[in-house]
Structure 1
């Protein structure tokens, strides 16, 4: 499988970690979204089962890593927009991945060094990595939480001490909803979070898309094949229709330029190389959409 040559800011962090005690349990027979992304970011935290899933995704849709890198670049551009242009000073990211250069706290602090970021994950390994990293000033924290149980995070007194829910929050949902099943009612969970946030809060959301098969039959077929691979090997991963993705923004005012292909959202030139400048090749751009909503 060909490997993408990524610049340093896309690569996995290699800093010192303290040991978790007890260490988190690993099921090496089950792939992980976070470790899959580590593989595509040229990280070190992945195993054979994750690489096998990457190979199957590549066969289903050549260039699958385009989606991983394109989604991450969209997140970086969106966080920079919220921080530098809109003045958001606190963020919550659901479905946080393994720590890597170019994570939201680094992007936000380009313009606002005192920005606070909560990384929420239900992956014990990801949680251990975030908690083990030594960060000065207690400007980031990591909590065990899931988008399927937003009330638990909102009720956590530690979170309420860390960020002020009476002030605008940047809610980051890049990738998390794609791995939330219909049975878990993601639109309702997002609505629960929206009702708890202050006016001026923004939501950054991206999602795997299954294009209209009558208009884009080849793209729709690739999306269907990818979903089949992910559900079979991972148990999650939904490629929803544009209409279903736009419905997730119910109750939010969608900001310009709307819910569009993530590559087209405030695209940056490839030079100079900065976080967010990665440009997806044309082949898979229709397979992932993103946008920002505002309260």
Structure 2
């Protein structure tokens, strides 16, 4: 595969177009993390400024696309485990990206076609795409909001219609906490969400990781350089230490195999290729970790 190639089963179809009235505002002068991920997933929703950032990230950490694909595969495996093995059939994804094959509702529907998924985003472009392409009014919907508005997310009338907070919920926080500037505020928001969910609810969280420089000096340097690039170009994107990331799980009971490299979390065989079976090359595995907690 070329450096920007993703496996066929991870690619977006790219055949649908969304028209919003009025169209959501788009800042073409600044890169977007959702459009950057769209580029790495072979979608169509990205611009020159996003592709430029992708090139810079690749120069900083050769194989940066591995991190994007590895984090997405982790999410897919986690949702499948929650739906198929733990019987959770309602989900809230905070910080949803552009719609793509293998999104949580597709994974959950493998085991229960009636599973309900609420996608939340504070990006109006992402919200427009989800409302146009994903929402079916019965099992999937999208609501405005981000991690900094935990109460608003759960008490939005549309969320309230889809989610029964007296029953377990799968809270999906993959890729969003890495882009919060204030770790303490993010932890408070996660705690507020936890306190609003029923016993038996689970949280899936992944985060960019800054490895111990004493043990992994090259990986730590790449993490530092990527953080500098992202905060300069995006205004956010933080590679935190494992200790800092583990603090987000306070109040949650760890679910085996715990917080570890995203690639190592319930890894699937590469064949047959299914959502979640993508395996990261070794070069950047230290730079993304994930885990699951329950209440």
Partner residue, 1:96: 96
Q: Cα deviations across residues 180-206 of structure 1 (Å, max 9, x unaligned)?
A: 112661111100000000000000000
Give SS of 2:200's match. Answer: coil
Partner residue, 2:112: 112
Aligned length: 295
- Please, what TM-score do these two structures have when normalized by structure 1? 0.97
Partner residue, 1:79: 79
C-alpha change, 1:185 and 1:267, in structure 2 (3 Å) is same
Partner residue, 2:291: 291
The answer to whether the 8 Å contact 2:170/2:202 transfers is yes
1:61 matches 2:78: no
Distance in 2 separating the partners of 1:163 and 1:56: 40
Moved more, 35-44 or 126-135: 126-135
Which ranges in structure 1 are unaligned for 5 or more consecutive residues?
Answer: none
Partner residue, 1:259: 259
Q: Cα deviations across residues 211-269 of structure 1 (Å, max 9, x unaligned)?
A: 01111111100000000000000000000000000010000001100100000001111
Distance in 1 separating the partners of 2:36 and 2:65: 10
Partner residue, 2:231: 231
1:155 matches 2:128: no
Distance in 2 separating the partners of 1:258 and 1:208: 16
Superposed displacement of residue 5, structure 1: 3.4
Which ranges in structure 2 are unaligned for 5 or more consecutive residues?
Answer: none
Partner residue, 1:219: 219
Q: Cα deviations across residues 103-160 of structure 1 (Å, max 9, x unaligned)?
A: 0000000000000000000011000000111654621111111101111112212211
The answer to whether the 8 Å contact 1:36/1:50 transfers is yes
C-alpha change, 1:26 and 1:36, in structure 2 (3 Å) is same
C-alpha change, 1:150 and 1:13, in structure 2 (3 Å) is farther
Distance in 2 separating the partners of 1:128 and 1:135: 10
Question: 1:1-295 maps to which residues of 2 (within 5 A)?
Answer: 2-133=2-133, 135-136=135-136, 138-182=138-182, 185-295=185-295
Distance in 2 separating the partners of 1:134 and 1:228: 34
The answer to whether the 8 Å contact 2:92/2:119 transfers is yes
- Please, what TM-score do these two structures have when normalized by structure 2? 0.97
Superposed displacement of residue 18, structure 1: 4.7
Superposed displacement of residue 278, structure 1: 0.4
Distance in 2 separating the partners of 1:186 and 1:248: 8
Distance in 2 separating the partners of 1:72 and 1:134: 18
Moved more, 6-15 or 151-160: 6-15
